[in-house]
Structure formats: C-alpha cells, structure tokens
Amino acid sequence: MPENLTRPHGHSHASRPLTSDRQLTRRALREREVRERERSASAPVTAPTLERTLPRRGTGTDRDAAPRPAAARDAATDLTRPSPERADFERRAARVGHVERDLQSPSLTMLVLLATIGVLLYASFLLRPENAGDLLPWSLVVVAESIMMGQVLISLWTQLSSAHDPRDFSYNEARRHLFLPTGWDLDAPLGTDAMQLGGTGIAVDVFVTTYGEPVETIRTTVAAARAMRGRHETWILDDGRSPEVKALAAELGVHYLTRPDNAGAKAGNINHALTKSSGDYFVVLDADFVPSPDFLVETLPFFAQEKVAFVQTPQVYGNIHNFITRGAGYLQTVFYSLIQPGKNRFNSAFCVGTNVVFRRDAVAEIGGIYAGSKSEDVWTSMKLHERGWHSVYIPTVLAVGDTPENIEAYTKQQTRWATGAFEILFQANPLLNRRLTVDQRLQYFGTATFYLGGVVTFALLLLPPLQIFLDLTPIDAGLPLWQWAMYYSGFYLMQIVVAVYTIGSFRWETLLLSTVSFPMYIRALGNALLRRDRAWHVTGRAGRAASPFNFIVPQVLMFLALLATTVVGVWKAEWTGAVTLALVWNTVNTAALAVFLGIAVREGAALKNRSTR
C-alpha cells in the first residue's frame, strides 16, 4: 500500500460532543424513527431513515406497567417534529424536481424496446443504397447518425438493465446492525452513534472540498455534514486558503486543512487529506452539496461486501429557477435515473466527484485519487475496476446541490467534463483495455464518446445549407417525405419519449440547451487531442460573472450563417415556387439559436443591472 495514503502513525479520531440523538432513550429514538418513516412515505425524494432492529418486549410484567422517565417523555414530545438538519434537507429535496421511477415498470421496458426498434429501423433506412442522395451530405449523415445510434443503443441496453437492485441480503443485514448495540433496555440511553460492519467498528472521514465558494454556501454544507447520523470526522479541504473559511471551521468545530499549492486540483486536495486522516472510509462532498442526515446510514452498509470500493449517489439540484439551471439540471436526469442504475448490472457505475463514499484501502491500492486529469472521478473509477474492485450506485437522493446558473458557468462545466471524457478515449481507449471486462469496456467506451454528440450536432446543422446553396441532398430527392419522416421520428421521437417518461414532463430547455452546446464539445475535443490543460473552475464560485457573449461567439456566428441561409432559402422558394424540407429545417435551427441568444441578452442585461446598483 502506498505510504502516502496509509493511515498516519499515531493518528486517531477525536470524539465529538454528544448530540441530542445520543442523549435520547432507545424507546424515544424508536418512536421518532416510526414517525419519520411515516412522514417519508409521503415524501417523493426524502431518503429513508434507518430501521433499527430492537428486541421484542415481553408483556404482563411490572416493568411494562411502570411509567416512563420524565426525560424520555420530554424527548418523545420533542421528536414529533424533525431535526433542523432534516427539515432543511427535506425542504431542499422538495425543490429538485427529481422523480425516482419504478425501474421494473413494464411501461419503461416497453418504451425502451420500442426505442431500440426505432434505432434499428432508422439504420436500415439510411443504409439502403436506393435511399442515398448526394455523396457528401449522405456521408455526413451516415457518419453522424452512426455515432448517435451507437450511443443510443449502448444507452438503451444499459437502461434495460436498470432494474438491478444492489441492496441485497448482506446490505440489509449490515444496515440493521450498523450501530453498535447498547443493551436490551429500551429505556436506557442510546449512549453512542459508533458504527460497525461485520462486527468491527469503523471510522469515517467526511471531506468537503472548497475552492473559492461563498462562505455561507460552505457553512450550510459543512453544518449538514457534521450533523449526519453516525460517528464521523468532518474536514474542510480548502484549496482557496481562505481566512474566512478557516474561521468557519473553528466556529463549527470541524477540521480545517490546506496545502502549500494546488497541484492535482481536486484530486490532489483529497490525496493530501488522506495523508492527514485515518478513517476506514471517506466521503467526498463538493462545497455546494448539502447531504441528508441519513447519508452514511444509506451508503455504508454496502461496504459489508469486501470488494466494494465506492458507493455513488446522484447529483440533484435545488436551484432550478432559470433556463440554464433547468436545462443543465434536467439534462442529467436520464443519466442518474436510468443509466447509472443500469451500470450496476455490469459493475461499471462510476464516481461523479461528489456525494460518494470510498473505501480507503481500495483507493490506496491504485495510488490515490487519479490526479492526471480534471475528470479525476471517472479515471479513478476505471482504475479501481481494472483492479477488480466493485462499485455501487443508488438513485436515492442523499445530497442536494447547485447546478450552473449562467452561461459562463455552464460552458466551463461542460467543456471540463467533455475534455475529461475525450482524454479517456484518446489516452486509455476502454475498448482496448484488457483489464476490464467486455461489459465494462463497452460501458466506459459509451462514456468516453458521449460528447461526440456535439460534433454530430454541428454536422447536422450543415446539411440544410448544403441543399439550399448547392442542391446537395442526403436522401434521394424522389423519396416520399412521409417515408423519411416515419423512420426519422421513430429514431429521434422515441428518445424524447423515453426522456419525458424519466423526467416526468417535456422539458424544452433540455432539448434547446443540448442543441446549442456543440461548440463546447468541439473545443473539448481539441483540448484532448492537443493535450491542452484547462484552468480549474468551480460551479458557484464567488466573483463577478462576465458577459455571456464572451463564451458563445461560435453560437453567434452560427446563428448569423443560418439566418443568411434562411433568407436565401426563402428567396429561392419564391423563385421556384417550392418550399423544401431543407428550408423548414434550417429555419427551425435558426429559431433555436435565436431563442438561446435572446436568453443570453436577458442574462447580460441582468448582470449589467446588478453591476450598476
């Protein structure tokens, strides 16, 4: 085991002050948990609370008839309402719009099968020689749509496997016995929140990584992390080296840790903390993700299986209040609701950088969190899977965070994510990785090529101008329009139907935002090919935002080009007396970019108003 990641010699966890939970009686705690389970049964996203296994009381004894102590009666009265931390988390979770679908639903299975059939039929239509049009646009369509169809087929195959439930017998047994027993007396004080797995006590560290986020944002997350059920040590890992954050750590009574430089970015920050801490397991939380009080209760029991390296929970967002937040937030809904659960079946669910618990020994075996990329999460997951470790993903909402709120933050986030994916594709092509299983190779290849969708979008935007200016068509001009529309809608419309089923409603923001994001993914492709390093940017970092038009110059240029093409197409239609599909398609694309630029204008005006106040 690498020396720098082993537990420091002589280091031990200091006991934290007893919380109110530990001063309660076992009977009072049991009554609270019954109330909380009843309350959570009606809440769509609240994580379930711990069900303790308590011995059954006898009947007909003097002790049963004896009155309960006054302290127990007072505690039971106070437990009719949730703790402030739980109430705050439930309030945040209610805003996320996250819907946990029944992954074993026959309706979902039927939709996925129909979508698969649609992909195959569209592929057969495109590849029929009699349907081919001019070589250049037809080749563009075949290459672009082949990339899309490959992505969709991998996605649908994964979604069909999403009904796999990782909560097996060993998990449920470990969850029942997670907290150390304190005796058989239900009226005795609970006494401890120490945890165990397999009869052995465990130590847990909770790392909150920070780098310039607002102090109040950090305060909310750290306070919630400190209040999580189960004994643990909470650490602020401050790469911003802020005196205000240091004072906050002292105020909240948590560990504060910095380092001389920011080498390795977030991965380096975590690896440095591992040399200063000693927990058997460690949680990673971004500064803006507020955890549930039950985070540890829901995740740690999976580690009863000795080969589990990490447990990942979803990213959901509580700041869904404008176009960017809705589009960016809901874009990930299908991934966290269907794709990640399906990856469990292939032991290929990967870490997403936050809301995750790691086994220290597993991370030490690979030399620490991978620091050679800004997408340290996926790289670390792949290296753990190469060593035979297992991963678990659960779709239960156990932390609520912030998604990018403006075009600048969204552009930087998507560029960083896409660059990391392309780095995996070019530097460690999963299809050629013999240390992964065949299923894992396919799953990681799908992840590494996901952002090629941006290149596909750009190619498809070029098709209408080719026809309007050069009369080049991808499909035989003599083909009936209804026939093309039938196959085309069978492919694309079914993807929208599956997404709508997952999200719960049609979200035009996701469709529009995914259409206009192509420059970010093309730029990321260039970053990966040329091995250009990117500065680290944090979602929600404090500071003055720049004009959104500084980050969408390619979209502006594309809008002007498509607008000019539409004008030419209208003139040509008047001259020939025929409105072509290319003109309609190009007009729709122009309108989509116009809407996005209108949103940018409104965002820029809002920034200007705030700066003049």
Which residue would you say has higher pLDDT here, 440 or 505? 440
- Which two three-digit tokens encode residue 275? 């040399």
CB 377 within 8 A of CB 353: yes
What's the pTM? 0.83
> What are the tokens at 82?
């949730």
**What is the model's pLDDT at position 356?**
98
365: pLDDT strictly greater than 90: yes
Counting every residue written for the chain, the total comes to 613
Tokens of 214: 């607002």
Predicted local confidence at residue 588, as pLDDT: 96
pLDDT at 609: 84
Among 119-128, 189-198, 249-258, 474-483, where is mean pLDDT lowest?
189-198
Give 189's strand partners. 25
Q: What is the mean pLDDT of the chain?
A: 84
Q: Where are the domains of the chain?
A: 545-613
Residue 10 has pLDDT above 70, yes or no: no
Q: What angle do CA 276, 277, 278 make, to 5 degrees?
A: 135
Report the C-alpha gap between 572 and 560 in whole angstroms.
18
**C-alpha–C-alpha distance, residues 485 and 127, integer Å:** 16
Poorest-confidence range of 176-180, 281-285, 384-388, 403-407? 176-180
Residue 190: alpha-carbon gap to chain centroid: 36
Between residues 187 and 611, the one the model is more confident about? 611
- Distance in angstroms (rounded) separating the CA atoms of residues 394 and 302: 10
Residue 42 reports pLDDT greater than 70: no
Cα–Cα distance, 431 to 41 (Å, whole number): 43
Which of 283-297, 316-330, 473-487 is modeled with the greatest confidence?
283-297
Pairwise CA distance, residues 86 & 188, whole Å: 25
Contact by Cβ (8 Å): 323, 405: no
pLDDT tens digits along 205-220: 999 999 999 999 999 9
* Residue 192 confidence (pLDDT): 54
**CA distances (Å), origin 223, targets 220, 228, 287, 290:** 5, 9, 11, 9
Q: Average pLDDT, stretch 539-559?
A: 80
Specify the pLDDT at position 97: 57
The two three-digit tokens of residue 190, written as one number: 């609970």
Question: Is residue 388 over pLDDT 80?
Answer: yes
Question: How confident is residue 75, by pLDDT bands cut at 50, 70 and 90?
Answer: very low
d(CA 606, CA 46): 34
Structure confidence at residue 301 (pLDDT): 97
Amino acid type, 496: I
pLDDT at 17: 35
Q: Would you state the structure tokens that stand for residue 525, as one six-digit string?
A: 């492709």
Predicted confidence at residue 24, as pLDDT, reads: 46
Q: How many CA atoms lie within 13 A of 322 on its CB side?
A: 14
Give the span between the Cα atoms of 171 and 331, in whole angstroms. Answer: 31
Q: Regarding predicted confidence, which is higher, 369 or 159?
A: 369
What does the pLDDT look like over 87-114, one tens digit per residue? Answer: 888 888 777 755 555 666 788 788 889 9
Average pLDDT over residues 565-571: 97
pLDDT at 372: 87
Quick one: pLDDT band at residue 123, thresholds 50, 70, 90?
very high
CA dihedral (337, 343, 348, 349) in degrees, to 10, reads 20
- Of 109-123, 213-227, 382-396, 542-556, the poorest mean pLDDT is in 542-556
Q: Which two tokens stand for residue 139?
A: 């080749």
pLDDT band at 241 (very low <50, low <70, confident <90, very high): very high
pLDDT tens readout for residues 310-330? 999 999 998 888 999 999 888
Query: At residue 182, does pLDDT exceed 60?
Result: no
**Opening angle at CA 106, ends 122 and 302, nearest 5:** 105
> Residues 406-435: pLDDT tens digits?
999 999 999 999 999 999 999 999 999 999
